[in-house]
Amino acid sequence: MAKALECPWCRSENLHHMEVLVYARPKEDGPSYRHFVSAVSPAVSFPSKLDGEALSENPSPRRSAVSVNFFCEMCPGLSRLDIWQHKGETHIAMRRTGRDDTLRELEAFACPPF
Ligand SMILES: [Zn+2]
Protein backbone atom coordinates (compact mmCIF):
# COMPACT_ATOMS: atom_id res chain seq x y z
CA MET A 1 0.00 0.00 0.00
CA ALA A 2 1.44 3.35 -1.04
CA LYS A 3 0.95 6.58 0.87
CA ALA A 4 2.02 10.07 -0.22
CA LEU A 5 4.76 11.70 1.83
CA GLU A 6 3.76 14.90 3.62
CA CYS A 7 5.80 18.06 3.94
CA PRO A 8 6.86 18.22 7.61
CA TRP A 9 6.40 22.01 7.47
CA CYS A 10 2.89 22.45 5.98
CA ARG A 11 1.52 18.87 5.53
CA SER A 12 1.18 19.30 1.76
CA GLU A 13 1.67 16.13 -0.30
CA ASN A 14 3.25 18.09 -3.18
CA LEU A 15 6.92 17.30 -2.56
CA HIS A 16 9.65 17.25 -5.21
CA HIS A 17 12.81 15.23 -4.70
CA MET A 18 16.06 17.03 -5.44
CA GLU A 19 18.79 14.49 -4.75
CA VAL A 20 19.51 11.06 -3.31
CA LEU A 21 22.36 10.48 -0.89
CA VAL A 22 23.61 6.96 -0.25
CA TYR A 23 25.75 6.46 2.84
CA ALA A 24 27.82 3.32 2.42
CA ARG A 25 29.62 1.83 5.39
CA PRO A 26 31.21 -1.46 4.22
CA LYS A 27 31.93 -2.55 7.82
CA GLU A 28 29.88 -1.82 10.95
CA ASP A 29 31.49 1.17 12.73
CA GLY A 30 33.90 1.48 9.80
CA PRO A 31 34.53 4.46 7.53
CA SER A 32 31.42 6.02 5.95
CA TYR A 33 31.22 7.10 2.30
CA ARG A 34 28.61 9.29 0.61
CA HIS A 35 27.37 8.92 -2.96
CA PHE A 36 25.35 11.80 -4.44
CA VAL A 37 22.83 11.59 -7.29
CA SER A 38 20.93 14.65 -8.49
CA ALA A 39 17.27 14.29 -9.44
CA VAL A 40 17.36 17.37 -11.67
CA SER A 41 20.60 16.78 -13.60
CA PRO A 42 22.55 13.72 -14.79
CA ALA A 43 25.29 14.37 -12.19
CA VAL A 44 26.50 11.37 -10.18
CA SER A 45 29.32 11.78 -7.71
CA PHE A 46 32.26 9.58 -6.90
CA PRO A 47 32.08 8.30 -3.34
CA SER A 48 33.48 10.77 -0.84
CA LYS A 49 34.75 9.64 2.56
CA LEU A 50 33.08 11.36 5.52
CA ASP A 51 35.41 12.53 8.28
CA GLY A 52 35.03 14.66 11.40
CA GLU A 53 31.71 16.50 11.71
CA ALA A 54 30.61 15.24 8.28
CA LEU A 55 30.33 11.74 9.77
CA SER A 56 27.17 12.82 11.64
CA GLU A 57 25.54 13.45 8.26
CA ASN A 58 25.00 9.67 7.91
CA PRO A 59 21.61 8.97 9.57
CA SER A 60 22.96 5.63 10.80
CA PRO A 61 25.55 5.98 13.59
CA ARG A 62 27.08 2.57 12.83
CA ARG A 63 25.85 1.27 9.45
CA SER A 64 24.48 2.34 6.05
CA ALA A 65 21.63 4.68 5.06
CA VAL A 66 19.81 6.39 2.20
CA SER A 67 18.44 9.95 2.27
CA VAL A 68 16.24 11.81 -0.22
CA ASN A 69 16.09 15.63 -0.09
CA PHE A 70 12.83 17.36 -1.00
CA PHE A 71 11.45 20.82 -1.56
CA CYS A 72 7.77 21.60 -1.17
CA GLU A 73 5.53 23.03 -3.87
CA MET A 74 3.33 24.77 -1.29
CA CYS A 75 5.85 26.34 1.13
CA PRO A 76 9.58 27.20 1.29
CA GLY A 77 10.27 24.21 3.57
CA LEU A 78 13.09 21.76 2.81
CA SER A 79 12.91 18.23 4.13
CA ARG A 80 14.67 14.89 4.09
CA LEU A 81 13.50 11.30 4.10
CA ASP A 82 16.02 9.08 5.91
CA ILE A 83 16.14 5.28 5.74
CA TRP A 84 18.83 3.74 7.94
CA GLN A 85 19.93 0.51 9.54
CA HIS A 86 20.18 0.22 13.31
CA LYS A 87 20.70 -2.98 15.33
CA GLY A 88 19.33 -5.26 12.60
CA GLU A 89 16.26 -3.08 11.96
CA THR A 90 15.52 -0.63 9.15
CA HIS A 91 14.12 2.72 10.31
CA ILE A 92 12.46 5.48 8.26
CA ALA A 93 11.79 9.11 9.19
CA MET A 94 10.90 12.40 7.54
CA ARG A 95 12.45 15.57 8.99
CA ARG A 96 12.77 19.29 8.39
CA THR A 97 16.15 20.49 7.12
CA GLY A 98 15.66 24.19 6.36
CA ARG A 99 13.83 26.75 4.28
CA ASP A 100 14.62 28.24 0.87
CA ASP A 101 12.43 30.63 -1.09
CA THR A 102 14.41 30.29 -4.32
CA LEU A 103 14.20 26.52 -4.97
CA ARG A 104 10.84 26.45 -6.70
CA GLU A 105 12.13 28.99 -9.22
CA LEU A 106 15.34 26.96 -9.73
CA GLU A 107 13.37 23.74 -10.25
CA ALA A 108 11.30 25.37 -12.98
CA PHE A 109 14.51 26.53 -14.64
CA ALA A 110 16.28 23.13 -14.32
CA CYS A 111 13.43 21.04 -15.76
CA PRO A 112 12.23 22.46 -19.05
CA PRO A 113 9.15 20.76 -20.51
CA PHE A 114 9.90 18.03 -23.08
ZN1 LIG B 1 5.42 22.49 2.65
CA of 91 to the centre of ligand 1 (A): 23
pTM confidence score: 0.81
Single out the residue of 19, 29, 99 nearest to residue 66, CA to CA: 19
Residues 67 and 21 sit within 8 Å (Cβ to Cβ): yes
Residue 89: other Cβ atoms inside 10 A: 7
3-class SS of residue 105: helix
Question: C-alpha distances in angstroms, 105 versus 45, 67, 68, 69, 71?
Answer: 24, 23, 20, 17, 11
Q: What is the mean pLDDT of the chain?
A: 86
Dihedral sign (CA 110, 14, 18, 76): positive
Ligand 1 centre from 96 Cα, in Å? 10
pLDDT for 53 equals 81
Q: Where are the domains of the chain?
A: 17-99
- Separation of CA 48 and ligand 1 centre (Å): 31
pLDDT in tens, 12-44: 999 999 999 999 998 888 889 999 998 888 877
Cα of 44 from ligand 1 centre, angstroms: 27
Q: Give pLDDT tens digits for 38-59.
A: 888 887 788 888 888 888 889 9
